[in-house]
């Protein structure tokens, strides 16, 4: 039943896309036809002028011939559109065949118009002149057929590019949501460990308060669109809410410092992009220390780039050659930045040489 429902859901959309495509093709055909036959009118007027025929006197006859030729070319276009899915070789042969079929009709119209133009004289039928007219009309119709096939190909390529762009956008959105939703299980795992630790330490009231703060934090974060950006001040507020949860456990060891310039409050960042880095600082900094640790969140702008830094003190007894495990946190941030900004976004981490572990995010500087 789900498959049937999906087919019904996609059906109207496909029909709309096909209808829009046909409307666009008709519009392009009218525009191309207007430009093409206006050019033919100018060219034939110039040629007739060179052979001694007054352009203004012959204009009515040319207009009638062009009107008839337009009707013929639209018939050619309809047939080419109907068989647009055949191979290129077959399209070329079809263009030749349609040209050979339609040129005699156009040449006959040309002869009748010349007879009308020379009235009351009755010009004799001249096979050589008729052959010249046939060749001339063949060139016009074959040129139109080739242009129309090229236009169809251009339209199909553009439609394919639009479909591929939509598919890529949907895939990117799915990837971003998947990466974004990885945060929740990871965060919940660490937070519930903290709640369990509070209970084991005989602090049920603190554990209860932590659960209440956690529920409010989750309520806020789950309403965010994973594919949307938020203002930096909103992102910082979310991290402050998260740190309020962790303070319930590490109140004697956790100190926090935010250094966010006021002019960067409106800068846009992916939602919860700082969450894994702050989490990592808590887990591998504060969680493994016996003395107070400072977690710093710093933002700055440089060369049209936004640089966010999360640092945490490292205890003096830690081996600086060992890197604290970042689990899925750092990988998650790196993949989200890569999916969102390509090579313009990155996340790096390591010791800063001053006794602290530093995680740095770089992305294009954008404002709301």
Condensed to tens digits (0 to 9), the pLDDT of residues 94-134 reads 888 888 888 887 777 766 766 666 566 666 666 776 777 78
Dihedral (Cα; 307, 310, 315, 321), 10-degree rounding: -50
- Per-residue pLDDT band for 1 (boundaries 50, 70, 90) equals very low
Residue whose C-alpha is closest to residue 13's, from 163, 225, 161: 163
Look at 67 and 173; give whichever has higher pLDDT.
67
Record the tokens describing residue 209, joined without a space.
């308060």
* Residues 6 or more apart whose Cβ sits within 8 Å of residue 180: 226, 227, 270, 271, 272, 336
pLDDT greater than 70 at residue 187 = no
- Give the model's pLDDT for residue 324: 52
Contact at 8 Å (CB) between 129 and 135? no
Record the tokens describing residue 243, joined without a space.
């740190």
Residue whose C-alpha is closest to residue 278's, from 210, 367, 191, 177: 191
Most confident range, picked from 12-21, 27-36, 113-122, 130-139 = 27-36
- Per-residue pLDDT band for 158 (boundaries 50, 70, 90) equals confident
Look at 261 and 279; give whichever has higher pLDDT.
261
- Give the model's pLDDT for residue 11: 45
- Give the model's pLDDT for residue 9: 40
Alpha-helix residue ranges (DSSP H) falling in 201-317: 204-222, 232-250, 275-284
Contact at 8 Å (CB) between 235 and 256? no
pLDDT greater than 60 at residue 15 = no
Parallel, antiparallel, or unpaired: how do β-strands 293-302 and 356-364 relate? Answer: unpaired
- Give the model's pLDDT for residue 172: 62
Is residue 58 within a helix (H) or strand (E), and if so which, with residue range? helix 55-82
Contact at 8 Å (CB) between 111 and 128? no
Peptide bond into 39 cis (omega under 30): no
Parallel, antiparallel, or unpaired: how do β-strands 305-313 and 229-231 relate? Answer: unpaired
Q: Could you tell me how far CA 249 lies from the centroid of its own chain? A: 44
What own/partner pairs with CB < 8 Å and gap ≥ 24 does 205-214 have?
A: 206/248, 206/249, 207/248, 209/248, 210/245, 210/248, 210/249, 213/241, 213/244, 213/245, 213/248, 214/245
Is residue 82 within a helix (H) or strand (E), and if so which, with residue range? helix 55-82
Which segment of 10-14, 147-151, 240-244 scores lowest on mean pLDDT?
A: 10-14
Q: What is the CA radius of gyration of the chain?
A: 36
């Amino acid at each position: 039943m789900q498959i049937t429902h999906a087919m019904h859901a996609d059906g109207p959309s496909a029909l709309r896309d096909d209808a829009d495509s046909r409307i666009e093709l008709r519009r392009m055909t009218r525009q191309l036809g207007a430009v093409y036959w206006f050019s033919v009118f100018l060219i034939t007027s110039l040629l007739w002028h060179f052979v001694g025929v007054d352009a203004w006197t012959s204009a009515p006859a040319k207009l009638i011939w062009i009107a008839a030729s337009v009707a013929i070319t639209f018939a050619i276009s309809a047939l080419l559109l109907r068989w647009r899915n055949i191979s290129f070789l077959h399209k070329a042969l079809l263009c030749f065949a349609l040209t050979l079929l339609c040129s005699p009709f156009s040449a006959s119209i040309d002869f009748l118009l010349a007879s009308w133009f020379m009235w009351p004289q009755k010009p004799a039928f001249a096979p050589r002149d008729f052959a010249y007219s046939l060749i001339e009309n063949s060139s016009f119709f074959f040129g139109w057929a080739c242009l129309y096939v090229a236009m169809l190909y251009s339209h199909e390529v553009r439609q394919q590019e639009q479909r591929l762009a939509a598919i890529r956008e949907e895939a990117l959105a799915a990837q971003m949501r998947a990466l974004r939703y990885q945060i929740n299980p990871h965060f919940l795992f660490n937070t519930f460990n903290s709640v369990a630790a509070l209970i084991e330490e005989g602090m049920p009231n603190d554990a209860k308060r932590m659960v209440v703060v956690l529920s409010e934090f989750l309520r806020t974060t789950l309403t965010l669109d994973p594919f949307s950006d938020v203002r930096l001040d909103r992102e910082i507020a979310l991290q402050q809410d998260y740190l309020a949860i962790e303070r319930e456990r590490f109140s004697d060891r956790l100190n926090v410092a935010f250094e966010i310039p006021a002019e960067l409050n409106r800068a846009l960042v992916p939602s919860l992009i700082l969450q894994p880095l702050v989490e990592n600082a808590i887990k591998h900094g504060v969680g493994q220390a016996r003395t107070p640790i400072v977690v710093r969140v710093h933002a700055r702008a440089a060369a049209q780039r936004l640089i966010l830094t999360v640092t945490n003190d490292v205890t003096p007894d830690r081996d600086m050659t060992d890197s604290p495990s970042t689990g899925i946190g750092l990988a998650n941030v790196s993949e989200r930045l890569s999916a969102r900004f390509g090579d313009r976004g990155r996340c790096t981490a390591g010791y800063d040489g001053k006794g602290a572990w530093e995680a740095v995010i770089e992305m294009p500087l954008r404002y709301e």
